[in-house]
A and B are shown apart, each in its own frame.
Chain A
Amino acid sequence: MNIFRLFGDLSHLAAIIILLLKIWKSRSCAGISGKSQILFAIVFTTRYLDLLTSFISLYNTSMKMIYIGCSYATVYLIYAKFRATYDGNHDSFRVEFLIVPVGGLAVLINHDFSLLEILWTFSIYLESVAILPQLFMISKTGEAETITTHYLFCQGLYRALYLINWIWRFYFEGFFDMIAIVAGVVQTILYCDFFYLYVTKVLKGKKLSLPA
């Protein structure tokens, strides 16, 4: 464990908690893409099946349980409890265009052709594009609530910090996982446009609104 991975995990945890609290407190999921949240629930489910087979550490196990629990709770709030506030018209990204290619790639390019490894690889590839429905929705509505931009910033920062963690681990431990690194680079690049808007607008107190 190094400082970059720790702060990456804390940033990810913050993102998940911010979103859950935003929906719970405002009793509304306006502006939130339910499709992205379903993809994240799939990412955690397929990646953390090793909860059933191996124990790494209390930290590892508890964080995985929290991620899975919060992601399913968020999906439940969006599609069940506060479904009346769900903006289905703007959440129209075709996720099958993500899941099918990612599934195919996971079967073709992986470290080991075993079920757990292919599911893990699928989860890594899916996570790199899981935010697209949310970014697409913001481009369609042309704006995002400030709390949603903080959620997105933490979500994007987490994998950026993981990239630094992988540089650190390569340099100090001689370890690298090309699949995780390439997917992590793609994932972080997808946030660049948002990062620019976040820094130039939200951090200056303005509302994030895209030129419609």
Chain B
Amino acid sequence: TDSQSSKDEL
């Protein structure tokens, strides 16, 4: 899901 890739942000 899209939220996974926001986990690479701080």
Q: Is A18 in contact with chain B by the CB < 8 A criterion?
A: no
Residues of A within 8 A of B5 (CB): 175, 177
On chain B, the residues within 8 Å of A60 by CB distance are 8, 10
Are A111 and B10 in contact, CB atoms less than 8 angstroms apart? no
Is there a chain B Cβ closer than 8 Å to A179's Cβ?
A: yes
Q: Is B2 a contact partner of A175 (Cβ separation < 8 A)?
A: yes
Interface range on chain A (Cβ under 8 Å from partner): 20 to 34
> Who on chain A is nearest to B3 by CB?
A111
Pick the contact of B6: A57, A64, A112, A180 (CB < 8 A): A180
Is A198 close to B, CB under 8 A?
Answer: no
| A94 CA to B6 CA, complexed, in Å | 31
Kindly state whether residue A122 has any CB partner on chain B within 8 Å. no
Q: How large is the interface on B (under 10, 10 to 19, 20 to 34, 35 or more residues)?
A: under 10
The answer for the CA separation of A165 and B8 in the assembled complex, in Å, is: 13
Q: Which residue of A lies closest to B9 (CB)?
A: A5
Q: In the complex, are the beta carbons of B1 and A112 less than 8 A apart?
A: yes
A162 near B2 (CB under 8 angstroms)? no
Chain A residue at minimum C-beta to C-beta distance from B4: A111
Which chain B residue lies CB-closest to A177?
A: B6
Shortest A97–chain B CB gap in Å is 27
Chain A residues within CB distance 8 Å of chain B: 5, 9, 12, 50, 54, 56-57, 60, 63-64, 67, 111-112, 117, 120, 162, 165, 175-177, 179-180
Q: Which B residues have a C-beta under 8 Å from some C-beta of A?
A: 1-3, 5-10
Given contacts A56-B7, A64-B10, 11 further A-B contacts (CB under 8 A): A9-B10, A50-B7, A54-B7, A111-B3, A112-B1, A112-B3, A117-B3, A120-B7, A165-B9, A175-B2, A177-B2
- Smallest CB-CB A-B distances: 4 pairs: A111-B3, A177-B6, A177-B3, A56-B8
